[in-house]
Structures are given as structure tokens and as C-alpha cells.
Amino acid sequence: MTQQETYIIALDQGTTSTRAILFDKEGAPRAVAQTAVDCTFPHPGWVEQDAGQLWETSLQVIRELLATEELTADRIAAIGISNQRETSIIWDKATGQPIYNAVVWQSRQTSGICEALKESGHELAIREKTGLLIDPYFSGTKVKWMLNEVEGAREKAAAGELLFGTVDSWLIWKLTGGAVHVTDYSNASRTLLYNIHELKWDEELLEWLDVPASMLPEVRSSSEVYGTTEASLFGGPIPLAGAAGDQQSALFGHGCFEKGEAKNTYGTGCFMLMNTGAEPIRSEHGLLTTIAWGIDGQVEYALEGSVFVAGSAVQWLRDSMELIETSEESERLAASVDSTEGVYVVPAFVGLGTPYWDSDVRGAAFGMTRGTKREHFVRATLESIAYQTKDVLDAMEQSAGIPLQSLCVDGGAIRNNLLMQFQSDLLEVPVERPVVSETTALGAAYLAGLAVGYWQGREEILEQRRLDSVFEPAMAPERVSELYAGWQKAVKAALVFR
């Protein structure tokens, strides 16, 4: 009897969708099951999701994938998870019920807590220990907020009855039937509660943020078997063998294993990560120092620049402004004009991240004339994604002192050729788009596959790397400077409007 082929499933739980992707030994995606997830906006600047929906859609897409491909659980060598990071969930240990919605990474409801924390005198120490900044983006203040706001939560937490997790943790807990409460290094490093140098939940941080240690998951390697899925879920147990925050997972999926190699993911937001090796680099330019992954007792670090609104600006054009019907239409419209004719859109809908870190600034548009058309506005919105990325790259090159040779890209918005070309023009480096655009999921698959011996090592992963297109810079440097100066002026103006 010939042995049947086995696969790895990557479960990619993102802000806009939950996907399960089946990868084969060559690292090729063989099938995808996907479903959208909802965001609610209960107040201006707040973004929440139904934690139950994040779990149910995860279960649904894995089941769908197995069913459509007619696979039994024993054909899956392992599941790896990549997840939207920072989004925070607290649930009752006994009932498994979340005590509140998932507070999404983009949500700003903890800006008051952040202000108080900044005034507490601990700002420098927090930065030193976590590599992060005090901002509502990170989990710590979200946990504090939920414990404060949900009736009875503090008492229950003190009694050890509640558990906290980022989305990876929540899904692993649910997938193992409540048996395993863990997270990985990369996700822990986004919580504002974890000391990225000493590799432990930090007692002082927990005290400053009023978070009981009993709620926290155990921090484990990004590539190891955490447990198996509860047998009844998929008709048999499947090893859960890897997890990483989606941006770190994408860095791994691109094979950015060497110091100085960087990728940018164009999803809901944009996240550029540069591998900085075994030593963390402290940033002075609004970047974050974060854990890329921890494998076999060895932690590697990355520098990160975070842009909160990227692809979601295209969703805004479609769903709120109703200027386009589909995301693809943004490219066609933008390409129908030669330039924005001086229009700039600053999509600071939930504040601005790197390098500005201003949670109160809001979106703005500049430079409109009587001749401005929908096409210019759409193009300006697309271009804003590339400008924000240039802000990040400039900060990164200054911080790391390493000039970028080329940029690996992934995420939903990279299918927009106009955006990719404009990005290469602005950064003045080649932009490399891989054949497997699902690089985030691929990274999670690799992490899980390595843990169970499905793949042997990083060399094998690098051999699988294939490019779909390379966008070469083609704009005159003077034009780049002129356009970018306009963007910088627009951001400056947006920052003073309160």
C-alpha cells in the first residue's frame, strides 16, 4: 500500500478574515477555506470583535478544508497558527465564555489608561523591558480596561477564575478543549506585560497594569507541539505544533532569517519587520523592538514599524465612502489618472503609529481643487499606504543602520500592481512579490512543520522561495522627493488639527 501524502494546515486568524490553508511538502498552498469576520465600532475609535466568532470561524474553516479535500485528521501532520496580534480576550476558566468582546489591536478605548501610565513615571522602564511604547495598541492596557469595566471581573480575576489570551492563546485553548493555556514568544512580546530580555512575565509590569499573573498563559516556543486538537472536533487528534503573531509569521514565511532582511505586509494595517538577529536593537525612531520567534531555546529579535490603516483605507473607500465597489477597482480608477494632482489623504482613522505614535490624530485630506475627481481621491488613498511605509522604512534604516537592499511583500493589498510600483518608486528599492502571497500562513505552516519533522530545517525552506514579480524603482529621485515632501506636510497639518 502506498503511503498517502500528508499536509500541514495553517490557521490564519486575521482582523478581516479567518483562513485555513493546506500546504504540501513543497510549501505550495493546495487549498484554502476562508470566511470573513466582523468588526464592531461601538464608539468612535473603538474596534471590537466577537471572540466566539473568531473561534467558530476557525473551527468552520478547518472543517471545510478537510471536507472539501476529503482529508481525515491523520493526513494532517500538524496545525500552525498565525494570528492578528495584541487583540485581547478574557474568558472564564470554568465556562469558557469570554467576559467581553475581543478588544482589537486597532481599538483606542484605553488612551486614558495610557495617558495615566505615561504620567506614572514608568514610561522609560516600560520601553526598556518590553521594547514597546505606551499606546492603546498593545494588550496590557486592554486587559486592565476589561478588568475595570466588566462588573465583577476584578474579583474573579483575583480568585484565579479568569484567563487572558491573545488570539493564538484563545484558539489553542479552544482547540485543545480547554486543556492548554499557552502563547508563544512573539505574541507575548506584544502584550506590554512581557520582558523581552529576561523572557518572562514581568512582575513590575503586572503591578503597574494591575494584571494578576494567574490569568496569563505559559510562554512557549513558536515551533513545538503544544498539544493535540480535541479528537471530536476533526474526527481525530491533530498536533498543534506552532504559533506566531501574523507579522512575525510572515517574516518567517518569507525566509527572512538573516540580520537586515525585511518584509512588509499589506493587510488591514501595514507592518514592516526587519530581522535583527539574536540581539535586540533599541530604536529611537518610533520603531518597536519585538521578538521575531523563539525556536529551540534561541530567541531572535526584529525591529518593527506599525501602520494602523493600510488595506482598511481601501475598505473605507468601498464601504463608507462608496467611491469603489470592489478593492480591485481602486487600482483601475487610480491608474486612470497620471497623479493625484496634489491631493493627499492621511488615513489616520485610529491615530498614527510609527514614527508618530499619536492616538488622537484623525484622518484628513489636503490639496483638493474644483477639478479633483474620485479617481484622484482613490489614488491618493492608495498612495498613502506607500507613504506610510516610507515613513517606516526611513525610521528603520536610521535605527538599524542597515540600508535595505530589497523589500519582500505580502498581504491582501499586494495584488494591487499600481500600489506595488508606486511603493518601489518611493522607497527606491526593488519590491519582491512572492508566488505564495499567503506568506503569513506559510510562516505558521513552516513553524508547525519544523516541529514535527515535516520539513528538516531553514535551508529546505529557503529552497522553496519563488518570486512572482519584482517591481523595480522607475521614478526620478527629484519627483520622489517632491511627492514625499507633500506627504510630510500633509501629516504635519493633520497632527495639529484636534
Ligand X SMILES: Nc1ncnc2c1ncn2[C@@H]1O[C@H](COP(=O)(O)OP(=O)(O)O)[C@@H](O)[C@H]1O
Ligand Y SMILES: O=P(O)(O)OC[C@H](O)CO
Annotated binding-site residues for glycerol read: 85-86, 137, 246-247
Instruction: Tell which one of 330, 359, 384, 399 touches ligand X (CB under 6 A).
Output: 330
Phi and psi dihedrals of 266, rounded to 5? Answer: -105, 85
Instruction: Tell which one of 6, 60, 111, 315 touches ligand X (CB under 6 A).
Output: 315
Annotated binding site for ATP: 15-17, 268, 311, 315, 412
| DSSP structural state of residue 76 | E
* Phi-psi group of 20: left, alpha or beta (phi > 0 → left; psi -120 to 50 → alpha; rest → beta): beta
Annotated binding site for ADP: 15, 19, 268, 311, 412, 416
Residue 415 binding: pick among ligand X, ligand Y, none (C-beta 5-8 Å cut-off by kind) = ligand X
Q: How far is the CB of 250 from ligand Y (least distance, A)?
A: 8
> Between 105 and 201, whose beta carbon lies closer to ligand Y?
105
Annotated binding site: 15-17, 19, 85-86, 137, 246-247, 268, 311, 315, 412, 416
* Cis amide leading into 355 (omega within 30): yes
Q: Give, in order, the Cα–Cα distances in Å from 134 to each of 35, 141, 357.
A: 33, 9, 9
10 Å CB burial of residue 300 (0-12, 13-18, 19+) is: buried
List binders of ligand X among 44-73 (CB under 6 A): none
Instruction: Tell which one of 17, 35, 406, 464 touches ligand X (CB under 6 A).
Output: 17
Grid cell of 244 as nine digits? 506566531
> Between 228 and 354, whose beta carbon lies closer to ligand X?
354
Q: How far is the CB of 365 from ligand X (least distance, A)?
A: 18
Q: Interacting stretch for ligand X, rule CB under 6 A, among 98-106, 177-185, 195-203, 412-420?
A: 412-420
Residue 446 binding: pick among ligand X, ligand Y, none (C-beta 5-8 Å cut-off by kind) = none
Q: How far is the CB of 200 from ligand X (least distance, A)?
A: 30
> Between 13 and 381, whose beta carbon lies closer to ligand Y?
13
Instruction: Tell which one of 93, 373, 415, 465 touches ligand X (CB under 6 A).
Output: 415
CA distance 137 to 291: 16
Grid cell of 375 as nine digits? 479617481
CB-based contacts of 460, cutoff 8 Å, min separation 6: none
Task: Enumerate binding residues for ligand Y (CB under 6 A).
Answer: 14-15, 84-86, 105, 245-247, 267-269, 271
Q: How far is the CB of 247 from ligand Y (least distance, A)?
A: 5
CA distance 261 to 458: 15
Grid cell of 291 as nine digits? 521578538
Residue 201 binding: pick among ligand Y, ligand X, none (C-beta 5-8 Å cut-off by kind) = none
Grid cell of 300 as nine digits? 531572535
Residue 169 binding: pick among ligand Y, ligand X, none (C-beta 5-8 Å cut-off by kind) = none
Instruction: Tell which one of 14, 98, 136, 443 touches ligand X (CB under 6 A).
Output: 14
Instruction: Give the CA-trace dihedral at 216, 221, 225, 227, to 10 degrees.
Output: 0
Q: Give, in order, the Cα–Cα distances in Å from 358 to each of 60, 353, 496.
A: 38, 7, 11
Residue 331 binding: pick among ligand X, ligand Y, none (C-beta 5-8 Å cut-off by kind) = ligand X
Is residue 176 involved in binding ligand X (CB under 6 A)? no
DSSP string for residues in 247-300:
HHHHHHHTT--STT-EEEEESSSEEEEEEEETSPPPPSSS-EEEEEEEETTEEE
> Between 6 and 327, whose beta carbon lies closer to ligand Y?
327
**Strand-pair category, 298-307 with 162-166:** unpaired
| DSSP structural state of residue 46 | -
Q: How far is the CB of 318 from ligand X (least distance, A)?
A: 7
Grid cell of 305 as nine digits? 514599524
Is residue 438 involved in binding ligand X (CB under 6 A)? no
CA distance 247 to 237: 28
- Give the count of residues interacting with ligand X (CB under 6 A): 19
Site of interaction with ligand X (CB under 6 A): 14-17, 267-268, 311-312, 314-315, 327-328, 330-331, 411-413, 415-416
